[in-house]
Copies of this chain bind each other. A is one copy, B any other.
Amino acid sequence: MSAPRARPTIRDVAALSGTSLKSVSRVVNGESGVSPELAARVQSAIDQLGYRHNLGASSLRRSGQRTSSIGVLLQDVSNPFSGALHRSIELLARERGVAVLAASVDGDPARERLLIGELAKRRVDGIIVMPSENDHSYLLDERRVGTQFVFVDRVPMFLDADSVVADNSGGSSVGVSHMLAGGHQRIAYMGDSLSISTASERYSGYVAALTAAGVALDERLIVSELRDEHSSREAFLALLDLADPPTAVFTAQNIITIGVLHALRARNQRSRIAHVGFDDVPLGDLLDPGVSVVAQDPVLIGTTAAARLFARIDGDRSPTAHVVTPVRLVERGSGELRFVESSV
């Protein structure tokens, strides 16, 4: 195995093609004002040497110092929702030749700050963040210095920045109302920490639907602070053991939905207890009954956020926009199970 040779530089290309640095630079950057013959000579030297434009050096010198890279901070790159979001952001980035630095925050505010720091050290042009932190004023310095931010899934706190979030309260309300219309009164709520804006909005949609229907809240049927599949499964098993268990359940997030599905299945109650989840679950249509959900549109969210970010990077200084994307109720069976006396 041969020792790594030095990478050819723009100098080497200039020497081989018998011209100056600047002309090579012009060719590499596709600038006008180079004769076709020279351009061809330069190009052939580039091919011959296997020269690759060094974007790091380029952006260092270039005024404005764009790096043609952005950061994307997700909850977890392996979560389906995060993955779909990532994918749609990548699509727009690709069109612009922008690279995407992706990382998982895992619900940890300290990680979020640390990762923002890593991205700042790499001088990304902008960051799309699905936040965990509840105070984003720490981003003020980065913003002042020209880094653009767009928030997805959750709105920023103590920072005036663009955001793209689904219609959480409206969607939850629709999902819960759907089960109320099926005759259910005892509808459980299973969600994550209410300190997360998204979660609290979903909870308020639940409350609004019950209130509108004149159904009193039962604290025993409301569980929040769920963090994973396991805790959600255990918590719902406990609800099933109540003297007067719920006849329906609304799960406020996909991981929680999966936990509850396992609990229902373990107790063989999937076709007895109505269930609507917020956020789609993979293969939800193949289960029996199918899993009814209030589906977000991660592709729309990602596309909108990316478009917003690139507009900002391009100099758009219009007022902060908070986009709310629509959700839709997907009826697959579990949410359409009607209340029957015997199930009490």
Q: Which residues of A contact B (CB under 8 A)?
A: 1-2, 4-7, 50, 52-57, 59-60, 67, 69, 76-80, 82-84, 86-87, 90, 94, 97, 99-104, 117-123, 141-142, 144-146, 258, 261-262, 265, 281-284, 286-288, 317
Contacts and interface: CB of A to CB of B under 8 A. Distances in A.
A141 B47 CA distance: 11
B79 A83 contact: yes
Contacts of A123: 54-56
Contacts of A265: 286
Contacts of A82: 83
B77 A77 contact: yes
A7 B55 contact: no
A262 B286 contact: yes
A100 B102 contact: yes
A127 to B, nearest CB: 12
Contacts of A90: 77, 102-104
22 contacts: A1-B317, A5-B144, A50-B141, A52-B120, A56-B67, A56-B123, A57-B60, A69-B101, A78-B84, A78-B87, A82-B83, A87-B104, A100-B101, A100-B103, A101-B102, A258-B286, A262-B286, A281-B283, A282-B282, A282-B283, A283-B283, A283-B287
